[in-house]
């Protein structure tokens, strides 16, 4: 037990240091390549911090624990917006690019609704549906390419699967484990990276990381996994997908006018996350 705690502490310290290096490296890359930080956040940073979700979701499906895989994606996306953006907004005001408010956040809402429709209509993410998700991901990358070429920075500068065994032992459904323990665990890279970026006043990296991770999770992770093997989508996941859509809509409403997440809005996100957890375990 003591040895596991030591490993946990060491792992967290390494994660913190790695996140700091990731933020600094991403900022340096953006400057060197003359690419906006929001693009780096939406791609390199988002894909890097979403690697745990990809690994867990793909492996869980092949191990016959699809409930953990799908729950991990839905839970991570909810956690990303309500918990991680909530905490980040408490640290510093987060400024949002115009394109992100007008196109990228609504796109997250759109693909969340699409995933919910697929689950409701078919009860599975079949290969045909997975192919649609993959095509949308490629189109999103193409969109980012054109944005990078024509981008004008209008953001004001601020001043300044063992879990499956646990589920069985505790008589808890794989869905709940995926939506909570696994989702929080795989979202730790996003959490630490966003906190570090918020402390360094790198709003574009915070927002880009969260929005990009949510897009990557749905389109790439579920898309690629579904192409390899159809993924069962339990009826109970429809309610969780609805929570993800609600979280995205709240984010869009908060930034549509003034394109800024303040500490007050961050507090609302955290309260919503608490309500979500209470609802989940009721």
Sign of the CA dihedral with 126 first, then 132, 138, and 141 last: negative
108 near 248, Cβ under 8 Å?
Answer: yes
pLDDT score recorded for residue 158: 47
Question: Mean pLDDT of residues grouped by 10 in the chain (282 residues)?
Answer: 57 49 55 66 71 73 71 88 92 91 94 95 92 95 82 52 51 56 62 78 85 90 88 88 95 92 95 91 74
User: What CATH code is carried by the domain that includes residue 86?
Assistant: 1.20.1420.30
- Considering just the CA atoms, what is the radius of gyration of the chain in Å? 18
Which residues pair with residue 261 across a beta bridge?
Answer: 94
pTM above 0.85, yes or no: no
State the pLDDT at residue 76.
Answer: 87
Domain of 204, in residue numbers: 2-281
- The structure tokens listed for 26 are 């991403």
> Do the beta carbons of residue 14 and residue 191 sit within 8 Å?
no
Which of 168, 115, 118, 145 has the alpha carbon at shortest distance from 35?
145
Handedness of CA 60, 66, 69, 75 (dihedral sign): negative
pLDDT at 151 (0 to 100): 64
Q: How many independent structural domains does the chain possess?
A: 1
Q: Residue 124 phi/psi, 5° resolution?
A: -150, 150
Picking from 217, 220, 267, 226, the residue whose alpha carbon sits closest to that of residue 244 is: 217
pLDDT at 231: 87
Q: What local confidence, expressed as pLDDT, does residue 253 receive? A: 95
């Amino acid at each position: 037990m003591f040895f596991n705690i030591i490993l946990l502490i060491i792992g967290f310290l390494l994660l913190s240091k790695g996140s700091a290096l990731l933020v600094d490296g991403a900022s340096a890359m953006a400057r060197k390549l003359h690419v906006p930080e929001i693009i780096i956040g939406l791609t390199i940073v988002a894909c890097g911090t979403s690697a745990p979700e990809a690994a867990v979701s793909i492996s869980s499906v092949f191990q016959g624990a699809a409930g953990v895989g799908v729950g991990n994606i839905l839970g991570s996306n909810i956690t990303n917006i309500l918990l991680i953006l909530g905490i980040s907004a408490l640290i510093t005001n987060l400024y949002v690019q115009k394109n992100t408010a007008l196109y990228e956040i609504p796109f997250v809402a759109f693909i969340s609704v699409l995933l919910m429709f697929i689950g409701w209509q078919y009860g599975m993410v079949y290969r045909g549906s997975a192919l649609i998700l993959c095509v949308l991901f490629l189109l999103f990358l193409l969109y980012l390419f054109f944005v990078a070429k024509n981008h004008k920075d209008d953001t004001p500068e601020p001043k300044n699967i063992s879990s499956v065994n646990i589920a069985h032992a505790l008589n808890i459904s794989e869905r709940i484990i995926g939506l909570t323990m696994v989702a929080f665990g795989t979202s730790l890279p996003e959490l630490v990276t966003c906190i570090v970026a918020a402390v360094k006043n790198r709003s574009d990296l915070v927002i880009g990381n969260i929005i990009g991770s949510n897009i990557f999770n749905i389109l790439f992770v579920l898309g690629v996994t579904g192409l390899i093997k159809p993924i069962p989508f339990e009826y109970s996941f429809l309610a969780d997908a609805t929570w993800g859509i609600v979280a995205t809509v709240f984010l869009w409403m908060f930034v549509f006018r003034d394109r800024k997440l303040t500490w007050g809005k961050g507090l609302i996100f955290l309260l919503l996350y608490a309500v979500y957890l209470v609802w989940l375990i009721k």
